[in-house]
Amino acid sequence: MNDLIIKNIGQLLLPKKMDRPLKGSEMDALEIVADGMVVIKDSKIVYRGKETDKYEATETIDAEGKVVSPALVEAHTHTVHGGSREHEMALKVQGVDYLKILEQGGGILSSVKSTQEATFDELYKKAEKNIIRMIQHGVLTIEAKSGYGLDKDTEIKQLKVAHKLEENYPVQMKHTFLGPHAIPKGRESEEFLDEMIELLDDVKDLADFADIFTETGVFSVNESRRYMEEARKRGFRVKIHADEIDPLGGLGLAIEQDAISADHLVASAEEDKQALKDSDTVAVLLPGTTFYLGKNEYADARGMIGHGGAVALATDYNPGSNVTDNLQLIMTIAALKLKMTPNEIWNAVTVNAAKAIDSDRGTMEVGDDANIVLWDAPNHEYVLYHYGVNHAEKVIANGKVVYERPGLLN
């Protein structure tokens, strides 16, 4: 006997499973089954497709004609950190530049101080709230970065918090060491980078990826290349915060170093965007950050997809440049500001986001773990269209309903 049937699905979204990310025009193809059904047994999908009466199960969910998709994949977060930086919002509104705040010891460096001072339990309790909100918004796979430690103990503390969250919540987490996220005051970049390279050996068992912030006033392209080469020698796949504000050439470096993803890419050079096509590096675009920093120039998603590149979307949840756990909101910003189509957007938050963090999630093939969301929406476009609210009605992790949208109290 099967465990669960989801029947009467108005639209069943089936992103294509491949051994590489979807690229270029492939991103606009999304199989949508009308009158669909999903059957689950022992936490795995045993059938998905047109509704049929061939299956029975001990439990049935009537989707009432709504949308069902794979659970979303969140490919870029800084979810474990101490403190908060709401005071920076006023500075930003007055026109104070993001990198200027950092240069003056605020921004990332202020979160570093709060994270160094926080205990493991304090960090855990704070990040736990984010993880719960992400699950409630339909996300069951989450990448989490360190990078608010800049010293051995705090970086390790951050990574361990993310591992503990993964033990206690029904999420798959991917772990990223981002030691070179900023340069502590009074330190010299090359010498600090050496220290972070040494730390790679200490975090080998705690991190899947090694990441770096390549930006004016932070790490140069040459320094980033040295770090990436050292990380790769030690067996890490690399990631990069590239061309977020200034066009330093981070995307080109990512492709050269076979990075699993290059993230931000607001200011990337035309030739680098064109080169994405011949690589499997996923361009992880974070339009919520552009919005939250109050900028008008967004990443050129159309150009990257047009040139045959692979694009994913993520929140970039962090305490400074984008403070939201709601990936659905990012889907709307991607439609309005990146001009991505609904099909591209759904692929960008499922299969392609999974490829950006080496996850096997983001699809609903027979044999896949049953990580599924029932959306309170009549069609897949509606989720982007009605924005700023949570459309997730039921979230199913490994075949079990782990979140159900509550009704009003009587």
Binding residues for ligand NIG, rule: CB under 6 A, are 78, 107-108, 111, 213, 241, 244, 289, 316, 318-321
In whole angstroms, how close is the CB of 92 to ligand NIG at the nearest point?
11
* CA terminus-to-terminus distance, the chain: 37
In whole angstroms, how close is the CB of 339 to ligand NIG at the nearest point?
22
CB closer to ligand NIG out of 172 and 176:
176
Residue nearest to ligand NIG (CB): 320
Q: Quote the CA–CA distance of 178 and 160 in Å, as a whole number.
A: 14
Is 385 known to sit in a ligand binding site? no
Is 148 known to sit in a ligand binding site? yes
In whole angstroms, how close is the CB of 241 to ligand NIG at the nearest point?
5
In whole angstroms, how close is the CB of 101 to ligand NIG at the nearest point?
9
CB closer to ligand NIG out of 242 and 397:
242
CA geometry: angle 395, 399, 405, nearest 5 deg: 20
Asked if residue 35 lies in contact with residue 9, where contact means CB atoms within 8 angstroms, the answer is yes
Is 87 known to sit in a ligand binding site? no
Give me the amino acid identity at 112: V
- Reading the block at residue 194, the tokens are 């050496």
In whole angstroms, how close is the CB of 312 to ligand NIG at the nearest point?
14
Q: Quote the CA–CA distance of 207 and 179 in Å, as a whole number.
A: 11
Is 97 known to sit in a ligand binding site? no
CB closer to ligand NIG out of 292 and 346:
292
Is 78 known to sit in a ligand binding site? yes
Asked if residue 396 lies in contact with residue 405, where contact means CB atoms within 8 angstroms, the answer is no
- Reading the block at residue 34, the tokens are 């009308």
Q: Quote the CA–CA distance of 178 and 227 in Å, as a whole number.
A: 11
Query: Under DSSP, is residue 23 helix (H, G, I), strand (E, B) or coil?
Result: coil
DSSP state of 25: G
CA distances to 124, 241, 280, 309, 366 from 263, rounded to whole Å, are 26, 5, 14, 13, 31
CB closer to ligand NIG out of 180 and 342:
180
DSSP state of 259: -
Is 302 known to sit in a ligand binding site? no
Give me the amino acid identity at 214: T
CB closer to ligand NIG out of 321 and 350:
321
In whole angstroms, how close is the CB of 105 to ligand NIG at the nearest point?
13
In whole angstroms, how close is the CB of 73 to ligand NIG at the nearest point?
17
Helix segments in 137-186, DSSP class H:
152-168
Is 85 known to sit in a ligand binding site? yes
Is 81 known to sit in a ligand binding site? no
Q: Quote the CA–CA distance of 319 and 336 in Å, as a whole number.
A: 24
CB closer to ligand NIG out of 179 and 319:
319
Known binding residues for 4-imidazolone-5-propanoate: 85, 148, 181, 244, 321
Known binding residues for Fe(3+): 76, 78, 241, 316
Known binding residues: 76, 78, 85, 148, 181, 241, 244, 316, 318, 320-321
Known binding residues for Zn(2+): 76, 78, 241, 316
